[in-house]
């Protein structure tokens, strides 16, 4: 491939989005509404072929093997491109950079066996198959992953899986081949050594798709999430992903990168909302003037711009930290963006709905769908409360390490100091 910088590639990606993706948005919307969940229009294959021919393929995987097709970008290089992709919710698939597939590819690159890479990774890198991720459960508070109940039993020549999962992505999408499942394999072990990760082909007997899950009322989506019951599913022993008892470690391989990508795509979607908000405000008139001239709408626009700039800088900082320190070292930075971006983008979406008025509450504009997606983002990949806890714990530890002798002795009154007393 020609030698292009990340800036060059993002310019090429932006041009592709305007020339090839934007003109298909309404067509895709109509297709999704009229076809079974997960179905794909014929033009998707053509778009993928064109994107790959331009070197816009597998861009978000910095550690790709030498034999793998793709453009190897660091997290901080890919982050602005993920934002560009976020302008259209289905665009990332065209470039094979979409969730949950990209994080699964990262898992396979990082901890997969050579056989697993041959069987599962290679077709994913070619865009031939897609995957789900099965961690959260409807019957447990999965924000504390130690509550996960799905059982993975060692039966000697195979694993036996029984459990109930939901929000398993890619249900019904052509090529949906397997899901990465997190379950309890060693119930008597220490709390963080009880779980394992398993590659579960979705065509195995006992994998039961209950339904595709609407999100805040929106059911017609290009990438559905499924509720799945695993009933005595026999999984080959070689499908253990990573080490037994280290399922949480395996999950963290994907979650750090996934959160950065989710956040940058969300900022891209919020940028679209802001652009549409400004255009709509310039067209509508109330009380004798365009609503763009009203102070409240100007406040909406100004606050949205400030919040998105702040969110973007936080994400770029987290991407840099991930590149330099890895997922564990960048834990606080990643929790910060998950908290800040979801809230900022939700606020922008809410303002867009308000400016669009009645249209903003319907599917005649993308504002309501984006509002629902950003509200859901405050729960996906760990709810706000979990990330607040992580940030606070990190901050307490960091401040204690930075000032082991404390600062109050210098800046605050010491009420036990009798020398400051005055006599009557």
The two three-digit tokens of residue 124, written as one number? 């994913």
**Distance (Å, rounded) from C-alpha 367 to C-alpha 361?**
7
pTM higher than 0.95, yes or no? no
Mean pLDDT estimate for the chain:
94
* Predicted local confidence at residue 217, as pLDDT: 82
Domain 6-110 has CATH 1.10.540.10: yes
pLDDT for position 224: 87
361 CB-contact burial (10 Å; exposed 0-12 / middle 13-18 / buried 19+): middle
**Percent of the chain predicted with pLDDT > 90:** 83
Q: Note the pLDDT of residue 144.
A: 84
Least confident of 140-144, 286-290, 311-315: 140-144
Return the CATH architecture of domain 248-402: Up-down Bundle (1.20)
Per-residue confidence (pLDDT) for residue 382, from 0 to 100:
87
| pLDDT score, position 197 | 97
Given a cut of 70, whether residue 133 has pLDDT beyond it is yes
pLDDT tens profile 238-283: 999 999 999 999 998 888 888 999 999 999 999 999 999 999 999 9
Average of pLDDT values for 167-191? 94
Q: At CA 55, angle to CA 133 and CA 9, rounded to 5?
A: 95
For residues 396-416, give the mean pLDDT: 94
Q: Give the pLDDT of residue 220.
A: 62
Nearest to 202 by CA among 144, 261, 141, 132: 132
pLDDT at 129 exceeding the cut of 90: yes
pLDDT, mean of residues 313-337:
94
The pLDDT-based confidence of 360 (bands split at 50, 70, 90) is very high
Distance CA 401, CA 3 (A): 44
366 alpha carbon, distance to own chain's centre: 19
Q: Residue 112: is its pLDDT beyond 70?
A: yes
> What are the pLDDT digits (tens) for 28-83?
999 998 998 889 999 999 999 999 999 999 999 988 888 999 888 999 999 999 99
> For domain 130-244, is the CATH number 3.40.640.10?
no
Residue 406 pLDDT: 95
3-state SS class at 11: helix
Query: Mean of the pLDDT values across residues 407-421?
Result: 90
167: left (phi over 0), alpha (psi -120 to 50) or beta: left
Mean pLDDT score, 18-22: 98
Pairing of strands 151-154, 289-290: unpaired
Q: Tell me, what's the pLDDT at 142? A: 78
Where is average pLDDT lowest: 76-80, 123-127, 219-223?
Answer: 219-223
Q: What is the pLDDT confidence band of residue 2, given thresholds at 50, 70 and 90?
A: low
- Mean pLDDT across the stretch 361-370? 94
Instruction: Give percent above pLDDT 70 in the chain.
Output: 99
Domain ranges of the chain: 6-110, 130-244, 248-402
């Amino acid at each position: 491939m020609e030698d292009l910088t990340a800036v060059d590639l993002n310019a090429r990606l932006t041009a592709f989005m305007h020339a090839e993706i934007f003109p298909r948005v309404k067509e895709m919307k109509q297709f999704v509404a009229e076809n079974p969940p997960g179905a794909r229009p014929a033009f998707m294959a053509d778009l993928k072929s064109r994107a790959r021919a331009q070197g816009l393929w597998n861009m978000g995987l910095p550690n790709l093997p030498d034999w793998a097709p793709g453009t190897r970008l660091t997290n901080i290089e890919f982050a602005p491109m993920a934002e560009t992709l976020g302008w259209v919710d289905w665009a990332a698939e065209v470039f094979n950079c979409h969730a949950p597939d990209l994080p699964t590819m990262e898992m396979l690159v990082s901890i997969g066996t050579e056989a697993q890479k041959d069987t599962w990774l290679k077709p994913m890198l070619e865009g031939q198959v897609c995957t789900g991720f099965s961690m959260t459960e409807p019957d447990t508070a999965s924000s504390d992953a130690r509550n996960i109940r799905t059982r993975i039993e060692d039966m000697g020549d195979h694993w036996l899986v029984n459990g109930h999962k939901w929000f398993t992505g890619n249900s019904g999408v052509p090529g949906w081949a397997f899901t990465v499942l997190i379950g309890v394999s060693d119930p008597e072990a220490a709390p963080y050594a009880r779980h394992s990760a398993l590659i579960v082909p979705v065509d195995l007997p006992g994998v039961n798709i209950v339904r595709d899950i609407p999100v805040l009322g929106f059911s017609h989506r290009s990438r559905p999430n499924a509720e799945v019951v695993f009933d005595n599913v026999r999984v080959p022993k070689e499908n253990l992903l990573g080490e037994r008892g280290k399922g949480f470690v395996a999950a963290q391989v994907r979650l750090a990168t996934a959160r950065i990508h989710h956040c940058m795509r969300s900022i891209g979607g919020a940028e679209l909302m802001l652009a549409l908000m400004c255009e709509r405000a310039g067209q509508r008139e109330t009380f004798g003037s365009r609503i763009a001239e009203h102070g409240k709408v100007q406040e909406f626009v100004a606050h949205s711009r400030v919040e998105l700039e702040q969110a973007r800088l936080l994400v770029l900082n987290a991407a840099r930290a991930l590149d330099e320190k890895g997922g564990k070292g960048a834990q606080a930075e990643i929790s910060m963006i998950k908290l800040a971006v979801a809230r900022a983008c939700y606020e922008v979406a809410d303002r867009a709905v308000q400016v669009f008025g009645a249209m903003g509450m319907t599917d005649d504009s993308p504002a309501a769908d984006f509002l629902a997606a950003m509200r859901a983002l405050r729960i996906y990949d760990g709810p706000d409360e979990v990330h607040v806890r992580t940030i606070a714990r990190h901050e307490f530890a960091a401040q204690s390490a930075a000032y082991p002798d404390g600062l109050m002795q210098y800046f605050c009154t010491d009420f036990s100091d009798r020398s400051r007393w005055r006599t009557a």
